[in-house]
Chain A
Amino acid sequence: MKISRELVAASASPMVLSILARGESYGYAIIQRVRELSGGKMEWTDGMLYPVLHRLERRKLIRSRWATSETGRKRKYYRLTRKGVNALQRSQSEWGLVTSTLSKVWEDAQCLT
């Protein structure tokens, strides 16, 4: 099943914030984590993640720093800020409401059919 572009775009920010809530990470690792968690069903165009990260950073929800990785290459690491934690909590409530409402709507629809 392929998830629609609109849904991928809408869920990108909460997804990134949630992954960063578990600790500092970098772009490539975030993409891998999304693939792993979705069982490979959620396909992002890798390059599209970076504008999302930059937007979150501009909104001060995450902070970045350059560091040298274990391979000796420079990597940009991101971590959640306090503002980001609050935004994530808000986002969790919003998505929770959306999914529970959808479930109820679909239950009603099933009763009718």
Chain B
Amino acid sequence: MFDLNEAVAEWRRKLQREGMIETEDLDELESHLHDEVERLARSGTPEEEAFHIAVRRLGDTHELTREFSKIGCGKSRLTELVKREVQAMGTTNDSRGNLLTTLLLFIGFSGLFGLLGATAWVMVSVKLVGLSWQDAMQHFLSLGWLFLIYAVVGLGLGMKRLRRVERKRRCVLRSLIPAFLLCPAFAIAPVSYMVIAGVVIPFCMYVAVRSAIGRGELHFRSI
């Protein structure tokens, strides 16, 4: 037996998983959907058929998400994008291709930020803390080669894969944000194994949390 409320809730969840449409906009689209279903039902269309017609008229999920993602410009759009991406991290199931690309880019960006962080660490240590150039460089070199490998391999392979995946911007943002947030940890890591732990453990946690949320075992409310 067709349950309109359940069908609308499932349609809404599907849009929400895409992560680009805000709750208020979803409310508005849902209200539109109800209006159209009611109109069709009044003209004698069975409720289930009316629901499917109304959904088709509203536009498919990807089309709607793409149009909503175009709203805005400049700084406010960037803030909105980052906010939405962070919000959507826990709610979207990506394809394997997207996930692998995100992972490679994450490693690449981590390496890049690690290199920048380690360089900044050397400068600060020598200029402000008074560490000798030799000691500072020794520390830098103990980490630098690993960061460099991460950056070259991760960004090299990630960028190559990025051409083939569907959601390019999402892959970049989802790899860039956690890598950027972890940057300070990389900069002060005393030994190279900290780098491995610093990259692998947070990312595994991120993937685990996302997949748990994707399966409905965890729920995030919008930020």
- Shortest Cβ distance from B27 into A: residue: A74
The answer to whether B71 touches A28, judged by C-beta atoms less than 8 angstroms apart, is no
Of the candidates A47, A55, A71, which one forms a contact with B63 in the assembled complex, judged by CB atoms under 8 Å apart?
Answer: A47
- Alpha-carbon separation in the docked complex, A27 to B38 (Å): 15
Residues of A close to B70: CB separation below 8 A:
51
B34 within 8 A of A: yes
- Alpha-carbon separation in the docked complex, A67 to B25 (Å): 15
B31 within 8 A of A: yes
The answer to whether B59 touches A48, judged by C-beta atoms less than 8 angstroms apart, is yes
Contact with B along A49-73 (1 / 0, CB 8 A): 0110011001000000000010101
The answer to whether B71 touches A51, judged by C-beta atoms less than 8 angstroms apart, is yes
Interface positions of A from 75 to 89, Cβ below 8 Å from B? 75-76
Residues of B close to A48: CB separation below 8 A:
59, 63, 67
B58 within 8 A of A: yes
B35 within 8 A of A: yes
Number of residue pairs A-B, CB distance < 8 angstroms: 54
Residues of A close to B36: CB separation below 8 A:
28, 46
- Alpha-carbon separation in the docked complex, A90 to B118 (Å): 56
A38 within 8 A of B: no
Q: Which of A28, A69, A71 neighbours the largest number of chain B CB atoms within 10 Å of its CB? A: A28
Interface residues in chain A, defined as those with a beta carbon under 8 Å from any beta carbon in chain B: 26-28, 31, 45-48, 50-51, 54-55, 58, 69, 71, 73-76
22 contacts between A and B (CB under 8 A): A27-B28, A28-B31, A28-B36, A45-B57, A45-B58, A45-B63, A47-B59, A47-B63, A48-B59, A50-B25, A50-B28, A50-B67, A51-B68, A51-B70, A69-B31, A71-B38, A73-B31, A73-B34, A74-B31, A76-B24, A76-B27, A76-B28
